A and B are shown apart, each in its own frame.
Chain A
Amino acid sequence: MSNVASNPTASAAMRRQTRLFMVGAFAVAAIAFMVIAAGGINKNLVYYWTPTDLHAAGDKAYGASIRLGGMVVPGSIRNRSGVSGLEFDVKDATGMVHVKSNGVPPQMFRENIGVVVEGTMTRAGYFQCNRLMVSHNNQYKAPKAGHPMNKEELKKLMQSTEGLSDSSK
């Protein structure tokens, strides 16, 4: 069945043609795939921002999926034990954002702790959070009370995903 054709030149030409066709088809498929994948990624990017970044972004802040990292401002927590209606402020060294969240926050959630909230900025001026995370990582050093986290620490915090306790929807 493995018919090595009797005419080697004709068979070689045919093979070249088949290969050319295969390469062409593959290239088209690959490009189509890349376009779809790139579009998919673009729609689903989650930006890692600090409260300062968020203020600096201006109009661009609205609508995008944002992972916001910062420290829970002491005395800002409202509705701690309710099932919904939790509100608090998140700040970094130079900015502060008001956050509204549904759902019960994780156990470790408290004042002065580093948190990561995922959601969108609303035009009403608050951040609507649909995922609230508190760091779980033993290597992450919590900020000292009263000292807001620096950019480097916030970056580390926001990159965490698995070491986090989470109240996702």
Chain B
Amino acid sequence: MNATLGRFLILGSLLVSTTGAVLGFAAGAKRSREGLKWTQRFAYAFAALMVVATAVMEKALITHDFSVSYVAQVGSLSTPLWVTIVSLWSSLEGSILFWGFVLGLYIAAATFLTRKDHEEYMAYSIATWLACASFFSFLIAGPASPFLSVAMPPTDGPGPNPLLQNHVLMIIHPPFLYLGYVGMTIPFGFATAALLRGRLGLAFLKPMRTALMLPWIFLTIAIMLGGWWAYEVLGWGGYWAWDPVENASLLPWLTATAALHSAVVMERRGVLKGWTVTLIQGSFLLTILGTFMTRSGVFNSVHSFTQSSIGPTILVFLAAVLLGSVALLATRIDSLEAEGRIDGAVSREGMFLLNNLLFVLFTFTVLIGTVFPLVVEALRGKQMSVGRPYFDSMVVPVGTALVFLLGVGPALPWGRASKEQVRRSLLPPLIGAALVGIIGYALGARNAWTLLTLVFGGYAAQVTLAEMWKPVVQRMKRGDSLVTATVQAQFKRGRRRFASYIIHAGAVIVIVAIAVSSTTRTQREVSLARGQSASIGAYTLTFLGTETRNEPNRVATIARVAVAKDGKQIEVVEPRMNQYATMREPIGTPAVHSTLAGDLYVSIMNLDGSGENAGLLLLITPMVSWIWIAVLLMGVGGVIAIIPTRSAVTVLEPQDSAAPAVAETAALT
């Protein structure tokens, strides 16, 4: 019953999205208002069908209806309810359905929010979204159908992948990633519409930027959650290994970040229209490439699902979108006329260009390193991977240069500036640079790149704080109280500016924390008998013995280790091995004692049967928790940036209203 209903709904969504896409493109070409109205209705209908189909699947999962193929594959009577609910995205077919569900929500929301504005672009935009929707409907209907009927339903199933149950981060990481990936469809639709229309008015920039910022926030958080999960579960004490699937999530983030920056230049100066559109198209393409890499099984990892047949289908879609985008860009990019120009290299906009160059370099570095083994294997049948040193040696200089720009960029004024002006803005932050550099050196940082990152980071931190403080001071000079001035300057008038500095502050902390944590960690591998101690840094660890605990869905073997710092007992940590019934080998879960200064990481390497001896990996890694906190700060900044404003003019600073781009935006809104 559920399976038939599900198949029926998916076929409906395939029909609705395809028809809506065709209708939308026609309506766009004819500039038909009536056609646009109907296209919007089809968009809502697609979303409704997807929501209902997903609800049917959830119902089937919760009621353990094993006659539905996906439930038979991942369901189990013995898993807790929450595991049953989240197993929607625990395997390939369900995760593609979840993708369709998220896409439906995005399309409905974007259609609704733009229902009264931007009429000239909307038919094309919705048509593009629905074209993507029809591809995913096709995947769900055919190659990756979760709604197949099982002729002889089993009485119980195996349950979802134990890795999903093993840590809560593994449950929240995928939805964030999908929200980021799928969300890129919306700006892609806007950009495609601008190309098809051959025009990109600055008023249309606002929905485009919001549509880009939202998935950017989700992707930022998702990448962090992925790294955090690897750190908390995989047991080697690192959070990033340049694994292909990790790279797949980073690539669209890099181009989206570049696009968010070039959009600012476009808004201020009326240039870089074609470039911004190219970056948006690239971001979408990279999400599809990422889907291919993680979902097709070309890379074998926890993220990928083997025995999958959707790889070729996604590859065809990727090729079609790539060819379409390139053809569209090649023929239409010239029609996106620049309305202004860039005056000098040593200016805010010059730094924006440099920023974009670095992000593109970063993207290519990661892309080449990730795709190279695939190409070699396809061409010559040889198997290999690109080692970590390649990525580190390429990315470290680029990352350091980015911190440099985080400081110098915002310090420089827009437009042509006098030498005196430049000197006045660039010199004071050297105090912050020296301060942070000296503190880092005093605390033991010796790696040259790390020290350089610290110095640039200190510079950027001072610039960021000063820029946040500046409008408040201006208002206070005009007689506002500190509180009024802060609220007015940061949350009312200059909110987007404030938000961007929050994100910058987060970014500075993340890069510094990555540099410090990856170059100053201490590692020891020890073999301890019960009662024996070992020390690392200021910590002394004593192995107290092992313990076995029966939990509802697993059996855990726990090594109890007492931790003392400077001779004072502080905690008993419990690294463990979780044995799941459906898995032959146990999953290790290390114990992490986190402080702001650094983490003590204890991971089991081996336990002998008697529980008398334990091989432990001990690590002290400074500043790791700063990465998680700072990325959350970046997310918060992003949210502040996109809260809807009553008046769009508020996003602009009064002192810059001389620029024509600004005047135009103000006039249009």
A and B form one complex: yes
Which residues of A are interface residues toward B (Cβ below 8 A)? Answer: 1-3, 29, 33, 36-37, 40-41, 43-48, 65, 67, 81-83, 103-109, 134-139, 142, 155-156, 158-163, 165-169
Which residues of the partner chain B approach A167 to less than 8 Å between Cβ atoms? Answer: 236, 525, 605, 617
Whether B235 contacts A165 by the Cβ 8 Å rule is: yes
Counted as pairs of residues, one from A and one from B, with CB atoms less than 8 Å apart, the total is 141
B300-A160 in contact (CB<8A) = yes
Residues of A contacting B26 with CB < 8 Å? none
Minimum C-beta distance from B530 to chain A (A): 14
**Residue of B with least CB distance to A47:** B384
> Which of B210-218, B387-395, B465-473 has 4 or more CB atoms under 8 Å from chain A?
B387-395
Q: Does B50 contact A (CB under 8 A)?
A: no
Residues in chain A near residue B390, CB distance under 8 A = 40-41, 43-44
A67 and B385: CB pair below 8 A?
yes
In the assembled complex, B513 has its CB within 8 A of some CB on chain A: no
**Cβ of B569 < 8 Å from any Cβ of A?**
no
Q: A136-B587, A138-B584 are in contact. Are A159 and B300 (CB under 8 A)?
A: yes
Least CB distance, A153 to chain B, in whole angstroms: 11
What is the CB-to-nearest-CB distance from A15 to chain B, in angstroms, rounded to a whole number? 9
Task: Tell me if B526 and A47 are in contact (CB < 8 A).
Answer: no
Shortest beta-carbon contacts, A-B, top 5:
A104-B615, A48-B383, A44-B390, A2-B340, A104-B605
B339: interface (CB < 8 Å) = yes
CA distance A158 to B580 in the complex (A): 24
Instruction: Please tell me the size bucket of the interface on B.
Output: 35 or more
Closest CB in chain A relative to B521 CB, distance in Å: 12
Query: Is B667 among interface residues, defined by CB-CB distance under 8 A?
Result: no
B388 proximity list for chain A (CB < 8 A): 44
Contact A37 B365 (CB under 8 A): yes
Q: Which of B301, B343, B616 has the most CB of A within 10 A?
A: B301
- CB-CB under 8 A from A162, the residues of chain B are 230, 234, 241, 243, 245, 301-303
- In the bound complex, CA of A160 to CA of B298 (Å): 11
Residues 535-552 of B contacting A (Cβ, < 8 Å): none
Once the chains bind, are A83 and B525 in contact (CB under 8 Å)? Answer: yes
Q: Say whether A40 contacts B393, CB under 8 Å.
A: yes
Asked if B383 and A107 sit within 8 Å, CB to CB, the answer is no
* Bound: A101/B607 CA distance, A: 18
Q: Do B383 and A47 touch (CB < 8 A)?
A: yes
Does B368 count as interface, using CB distance less than 8 angstroms? yes
Q: Answer yes or no: B162 CB below 8 A from chain A CBs.
A: yes
Which residues, 271 to 316 on B, are CB-close (under 8 Å) to A? 299-303, 306
Q: In the complex, which residues of chain B have a beta carbon less than 8 angstroms from the beta carbon of A67?
A: 385
CB distance from A87 to the nearest CB of B (A): 16
- Which chain A residue shows the least CB distance to B307? A139
Q: Which residues of B contact A138 (CB under 8 A)?
A: 161-163, 580, 582-584
Q: How far is the CB of A82 from chain B (nearest CB, A)?
A: 7
Partner of A161, one of B243, B341, B577, B658: B243
Interface string of B642-669 (1 = CB under 8 A from A): 0000000000000000111100000000
The answer to whether residues A134 and B585 also contact, given A162-B230, A167-B617 and a CB cut-off of 8 A, is yes
Q: Which label, helix, strand, loop or mixed, suits the secondary structure of the B interface?
A: mixed
Could you say which of B303, B340, B385, B582 contacts A48, with CB atoms under 8 Å apart? B385
Additional A-B contacts beyond A109-B606, A160-B301 (7; CB < 8 A): A45-B385, A46-B386, A81-B608, A106-B606, A137-B300, A161-B243, A165-B234
Interface string of B217-240 (1 = CB under 8 A from A): 000000000000010001110000
B660 touches A156 (CB 8 A): no
CB interface residues, B 581-633, toward A, < 8 Å:
582-588, 604-608, 613, 615-617
CA distance A106 to B588 in the complex (A): 10
Please name all residues of chain B whose beta carbon is closer than 8 Å to the beta carbon of A81 when the two chains form the complex. Answer: 527, 606, 608, 613, 615
> Does A82 lie within 8 Å of B527, measured CB to CB?
yes
- B415 contacts A1, CB within 8 Å? yes
Q: How far is the CA of A44 from the CA of B299 in the complex (A)?
A: 19
Any A CB within 8 A of the CB of B112: no
Inter-chain contacts of A105 with B (CB < 8 A): 605-606, 615
Q: Is there an interface contact between A47 and B368, defined as CB atoms closer than 8 Å?
A: no
Measured CA separation A105–B604 after assembly (Å): 10
B512 → chain A, closest Cβ, in Å? 24
Provide the residues of chain B in CB contact with A161, threshold 8 Å: 241, 243, 301, 385
Whether A48 contacts B384 by the Cβ 8 Å rule is yes
A41 CA / B660 CA spacing, docked (Å): 46
Assess whether B389 is in contact with A44, with CB atoms less than 8 Å apart: yes
Asked if B62 is an interface residue, CB under 8 A from chain A, the answer is no
Q: Complex Cα distance A109/B162, Å? A: 20
Residues of B within 8 A of A48 (CB): 383-385
CA distance A2 to B266 in the complex (A): 13
The residue that B586 contacts in the complex, of A33, A46, A108, A168, with Cβ under 8 A, is: A108
| Cβ of B270 under 8 Å from chain A | yes
Assess whether B369 is interfacial by the CB under 8 Å rule.
Answer: yes
**A46 lies within 8 A of B617 (CB):** no
When A44-B389, A162-B245, A168-B236 are in contact, do A136 and B306 touch as well, CB less than 8 Å? Answer: no
| B372 beta carbon closer than 8 Å to chain A | yes
What is the 8 Å Cβ interface bit string for chain B, positions 538-571, against chain A (1 contact, 0 not)?
A: 0000000000000000000000000000000000
Contacts of B615 in A (CB 8 A): 81, 83, 104-105
Q: Provide the bound-state CA to CA distance between A165 and B236, in Å.
A: 8
Q: Verify if B441 is at the interface (C-beta below 8 Å from A).
A: no
CB-nearest residue of chain A to B361: A33
Task: Give Cα A102–Cα B584 distance, bound, in whole angstroms.
Answer: 26
